[in-house]
Amino acid sequence: MKMRKSFSRATAAFIATAMLASVTAVPAFAEGGVAGNDAYTTGFNKVIDMSDAEGASVPRLNYSYDADPGERVPATDTNPEIETGVGNIQVKGVTFSEEDERDAGTDTVTKQVAITIPANTYSEPGIYRYVITETDDTKDVAGMTETENDDTYYLDVYVEDHEGKLTVTHTILTRTEITPVLDDSGENVTYGEGESSKVEEDVDKYTTYTLTITKKVQGEMANASGTFNFAVDFEGLDFGTILTSGEDKAPSDRTDTDGKLTVDFSIAEPGRDGKSYVIYGVPADAAYTVIEKLSDGEGYTVKAERTSGGSGTPAEPVEGNPASFALQYIDREGVTQSVQVGCAVLDGETLKPITDAVPSAESFTMSGSPNAISALSVPTLNGYVNANTAYVNDGGKLAQVQRVRFNAGKWEYQAADKQYYALNDNSLYFIYAKDNSGTVEGPVDMTYNEEESSYVSSSFGMNGQDNVMIVTNIREAANPTGLVMDIAPYALLVVVAAGACFFFMRKRRED
């Protein structure tokens, strides 16, 4: 039996039960509107995720939408008929800009995309399908990442005859073209995976980066308690970009159409260990130049060192269960023996297995004599630095491994007490540190600008990474010079010679 004639019963059951278990209309919009005599509005939320854009302003984005009739799906024994959409439904686009603020207590910015079905659109009951196409300018904004398959949506509109009055009872919005399926009773309808198939919101992600300026001083004559003034000139910013900086994340000026922006700040009392100032929300494709406002008459040599893609310090250990792999060894008989080992970060006295990286080979060979292996051939782990140590976690007891051997048909490890103990599967860990050092350039001398009385770095690109610029002022103690110091050696010779002459003449008189 074809499903067209049983439409009313199927959709009624769909409304009463299936929607609760599978898909419902977007809750952000009012339900209960009517079509036929009244308009009906539904929609979804467009969201910008800024969780990886600390201190950044909202980028300027425009999203527009077109709605076209979808393809008809004939009724079968398992699905109702879906008709081609009719009329002219309206989808209102949304815009984002630096004027927008994050949603309260979140790192997201949300706008509602309203879908309006005009009055008198339908002349008979049915399920009507539309294809909604999104057009945006996200590709023009560096750091924007779209949700997969987010440019096309499918809208099914359910229309029923309620006592002679056509009424829109529900709308279903999905990312893919799904044919609703009736259950065995022929009264309940489900879309795909049910609740997970519907679209209530569409999320695009915006990612920005930080630029950290670290001030250091070196030398016996350097003023570690002084105040040093800086400016950072940015280029290549999108129109309307606002950066924030400092501990209070103070906002900068808004960029104009030239895409340029300058952030001025001071670093006071950097001490010998240095002090940093952070600029947030820097787009992935921005370029910057660091300027220190300092006269060359102060006698400093000024050097700059840039690190990109890391902070230069080890990252936090990674927790989780280890993905073990085989440690291999060929015994005297030529038989390959293996034991399962893992990779970990040592956090104090706690081993925290690494789970987010994979060794360059699933197995590797230990080197050394057949029964005593002292050199561990540690595998390369992408994104990590080998600490050249190994630990064993035996019943919660953590011990550093001195040697490993395959003896009498079993693996053993030598502890600090020089005794050998059984080595069980997944008890040996090679120790690593997260490679967060980044790429280092420099240090190189900054160029002095006489007109501006300042030292200027080269121009660097952010290149989609956090950047750290270390500016070091070096002023060593000068060795005293002048007439007194220059003649001192000769004067000493004269004194010595005079003393010798006096001693010689006196001795002669005595003789």
Domain extents for the chain? 4-207, 210-313+447-474, 325-434, 479-511
**Sign of the C-alpha dihedral computed for residues 262, 264, 270 and 272 taken in this order:** positive
**Sign of the C-alpha dihedral computed for residues 335, 340, 344 and 350 taken in this order:** negative
Of 72 and 418, the structure prediction assigns the larger pLDDT to: 72
Average pLDDT, the chain: 78
Per-residue pLDDT at 238: 92
pLDDT over 70 (residue 410): yes
Per-residue pLDDT at 316: 42
pLDDT tens per residue across span 184-201? 887 778 888 766 578 889
The model's confidence at residue 488, banded by pLDDT at 50, 70 and 90, is low
Rounded mean pLDDT, 304-327: 56
Q: Which CATH number fits the domain 4-207, given the four candidates 3.20.20.70, 1.10.3470.10, 2.60.40.3050, 3.20.20.140?
A: 2.60.40.3050
CA–CA–CA angle 457, 460, 461 (5° rounding): 165
* Rounded Cα–Cα distance for residues 104 and 112 (Å): 16
Rounded mean pLDDT, 313-330: 48
pLDDT over 70 (residue 288): yes
pLDDT tens per residue across span 46-62? 999 999 999 999 999 99
Same fold, 4-207 and 210-313+447-474: yes
Half-sphere exposure of residue 326: CA atoms within 13 angstroms, side-chain side: 9
The model's confidence at residue 423, banded by pLDDT at 50, 70 and 90, is confident
Tell me if the domain spanning 210-313+447-474 has CATH number 1.10.10.10: no
Alpha-carbon 72 to chain mean position:
43
Lowest mean pLDDT among 39-53, 408-422, 488-502: 488-502
Strands 201-207 and 40-52: parallel
Per-residue pLDDT at 376: 45
pLDDT tens per residue across span 213-226? 999 999 989 999 99
Compute CA distances 127 → 83, 169, 182, 252, 316, whole Å. Answer: 6, 10, 14, 52, 54
Cβ atoms of 359 and 325 within 8 Å: the answer is yes
pLDDT over 50 (residue 364): no
pLDDT over 80 (residue 490): no
pLDDT tens per residue across span 441-453? 888 999 999 999 9
* Rounded Cα–Cα distance for residues 340 and 351 (Å): 16
In this structure, what DSSP letter does residue 82 have? B
Say what the alpha-carbon torsion angle 441, 442, 444, 450 is, to the nearest 10 degrees.
40
Cβ atoms of 170 and 25 within 8 Å: the answer is yes
Cβ atoms of 183 and 190 within 8 Å: the answer is yes
Whole-structure pTM value: 0.66
Of 138 and 381, the structure prediction assigns the larger pLDDT to: 138
pLDDT over 60 (residue 26): no
Lowest mean pLDDT among 27-41, 101-115, 364-378: 364-378
The model's confidence at residue 504, banded by pLDDT at 50, 70 and 90, is low
Rounded mean pLDDT, 54-80: 95
Residue entry with tokens 């005009």: 118
Rounded mean pLDDT, 461-475: 92
Per-residue pLDDT at 400: 75
Cβ atoms of 49 and 203 within 8 Å: the answer is yes
- Beta-bridged to residue 350, according to DSSP, are 347
Among 141, 135, 138, 134, CA closest to 155: 134
